[in-house]
Structure 1
Amino acid sequence: MTSRTAREDDEARERAAIAERAAAAGAAVADAAFRTGIDTETKDGKTDVVTQADRDAQAEVVRVIRDAFPDEAVVGEEGDELESVPEAGPAWVVDPIDGTNNFVRDIRIWTTSVAAVVDGVPVAAATVLPALGDTYTAGPEGVWRNGEAAAVSRRTDPETFAVCPTIWWDYDRREEYAVATREIVERFGDLRRLGSAQAALAMVAAGHLEAAVTNVVPNPWDTVAGVRMVRQAGGTVTDVDGDPWHHDSRGLVASNGKAHDEVLAAVREIEAARRGE
C-alpha cells in the first residue's frame, strides 16, 4: 500500500473540515423542520418518502461545499446533482436526511451526511444526528464522536454482537429481509434496525454496533460517508463476495473486523435467497 503524503493528509483535513461544516449546516436546516408536521411526498414507492426539508437541507449543504470548492462535482439524493460518483477527480457525496421515514414519524434517528471522495475513494466524512446531539467525523487521523476519538468495538464473540440489517428490501424482496432477520438472530447476540444506514455505519465505527449488513446495491449517499468512518475506525467493509467495498458494489458488509467471516456468511445466505437457492 502506498503511504499517504503530508500534502494529501493536509488536503484530507481540509475536506474533513468542510464536510463537517456542510453537514452541520444542512442538519440545522432539517432540524428546524423536524416535528413540525411537514408535508410528505413519495417518490418511487409507498415508503420512498421525501420532504421539502430534504431539498432545503441539501441546498444548504451544497452551498457550503461550493463556497469552498466551487468547481467540484456533487453527488446528491435530491435536486439536480449527480447520481453516481465520478471515478476521477474530487467530488462530494451528500445525503441531506438519511432516514426520512424516521424524520416524518418524529423519530430522532436520522442524519445529514457528507463525504469527500478523490478518484472514487472516500477521504473524509461527517455524519450529524442533530436530534440526538451527535456528530461523527472521519479524517486522515481517525474517527471522532462529538470531538472524542472513537473506534470499532473490541468484541470478538459473535454471540455478543449487535448487528443491523440496513438498506430497504422492497416488497418484492421480503424473503431476503426475512432471511436477513433469521440469520442475524440465529448467529449473533441481537438485532438492531435503525432506519438509517448512515446512522448504523457511524455506530459501527464508534463501537455501538458490531456490524451493519445488506445484500442490496446501495446508493452512494446512503453509504460512502459511513464506509469511510468504519474503515478509519479500524473496521472492515466488503461487498457480498468479501472483496473491498466500492461505491458501486453489490451489498455492503461492515463490521468491527473481529469476526467478519461470520458476518459475511450471514449475508451470503441472504444472497442465496435472492438467487432463489
Structure 2
Amino acid sequence: MSLALRLADEADKITTARFRARDLVVERKPDRTPVTDADVAVEDAIRAVLAAEAPDDQVAGEERGGTAGAGRAWVVDPIDGTKNFLRGVPVWATLIALVVDGVPVVGVVSAPALGRRWWASAGGGAHTRDALGERAIAVSGVRDLSDAYLSTTHLGTWGEYHSREAYLALVDACWENRAFGDFWQHCLVAEGAIDVAAEPIVNPWDVAPFQVLVTEAGGRFSDLSGVARFDGGNVLSSNGHLHEAALKVLAENR
C-alpha cells in the first residue's frame, strides 16, 4: 500500500502540472481513443519507480502494454477519463492496482483535480481523503432497486456492446440515474453515495482497483454475468444488497 500511494503521488505531480496546459499534446491510438503526453509520462514514471522498487513484479499499463499473469502484477491506468482531462473537465484519475495471481489486493484511485483519493487493501478496509480529511468508507444500505441511485459511463456503448434496452430497463427499475462515468461512479458506490454502477465495456486497467475498493467497503463487484473479476470486459459494482436484482434486470431484457 505504501508503494501504491507513492506511485499515486508521482502521478499527481505530472497530471496536475499538465492539466489545462496550453501545449498539451493529444494523439489518437489505433482504437481512436485519445492519449495525451501526460498519459504516457505518468505511466513511464510509474514504471520507473516499480523497476527500482519492485523489479520482479509484472506491469500492465494502458499505454505501454504488458500482461497480469501469475504472481504479482501492477495494473495501471495513468489517466482514466482522458477525454475529460483534455477538455479541461476535472473528473479524471490515476488508477493503480496490485494484482496477485489474478486477484486485486491493493487499489489506489487518485483524482487530484477533485481533491480526492480512495484506497483499499485486502483485509484492510476502504478509505478516502478529501477536504474534510481521511476516513473509512462503506457502501449504502439501500435494499430495493426502486430506491437505488444508478450510474453508467456512456449510454451509447450499451447499444454497441451489450443491450441498450437492458440498461434502460435497469434505469426504469431504479429511483434515480446519472452518468458520473469512468472511475468516479465506482468510488461513489464504495463510499455509499450511489448504489449501483454498470458498464458494458471496460478494459482491465479501467477497473482493477475497484474490485478491492468496492468489496472492502462492503459491496460487490463482478462482470455482468455475476463473476467476481476485473478482466471480464464489463462490470457491475453495487452495495451488494442490489447486485442480484440488477443482474436479473440486465439479463432478462437483453
Q: Same fold (TM over 0.5)?
A: yes
Normalized against structure 1, the TM-score is what? 0.82
Paired position in structure 2 for 1:179: 165
d(CA) in 1 for partners of 2:168 and 2:138?
28
Paired position in structure 2 for 1:24: 9
Give the secondary structure class of the aligned counterpart of 1:223. helix
Question: Cα deviation per residue 1:98-134 (whole Å; 9 max; x = unaligned)?
Answer: 0001111111110101000111111101000000000
Contact 1:85/1:220, CA 8 A, preserved across alignment: no
Among 174, 181, 199, the residue aligned to 1:188: 174
Q: Where do 5+ consecutive residues of structure 2 fail to align?
A: none
Normalized against structure 2, the TM-score is what? 0.89
Aligned amino acid, residue 224 of structure 1? A
Using a 3 Å threshold, how does the CA distance of structure 1 residues 252 and 69 change in structure 2: closer, same or farther? same
Higher strand share: 2
d(CA) in 2 for partners of 1:260 and 1:221?
22
Among 216, 221, 241, the residue aligned to 1:237: 221
d(CA) in 2 for partners of 1:75 and 1:236?
24
Question: Cα deviation per residue 1:199-245 (whole Å; 9 max; x = unaligned)?
Answer: 222221111221111233x21110110111001111011222223x2
d(CA) in 2 for partners of 1:179 and 1:27?
39
Percent sequence identity over aligned pairs: 33
Spell out structure 1 runs of 4+ moving beyond 3 A.
Answer: 166-172
1:155 is displaced (CA, Å) by 1.8
- Give matches, 1:151-230, under 5 Å: 151-166=138-153, 170=157, 173=160, 176=163, 178-179=164-165, 181-196=167-182, 198-216=183-201, 218-230=202-214
Q: Where do 5+ consecutive residues of structure 1 fail to align?
A: 1-15, 273-277
- Give matches, 1:16-165, under 5 Å: 16-37=1-22, 38-46=24-32, 48-79=33-64, 81-82=65-66, 84-86=67-69, 88-139=70-121, 140-146=123-129, 147-165=134-152
1:45 is displaced (CA, Å) by 4.4
d(CA) in 1 for partners of 2:177 and 2:109?
22
d(CA) in 2 for partners of 1:42 and 1:229?
31
Using a 3 Å threshold, how does the CA distance of structure 1 residues 180 and 49 change in structure 2: closer, same or farther? farther
| RMSD of aligned Cα (Å) | 2.1
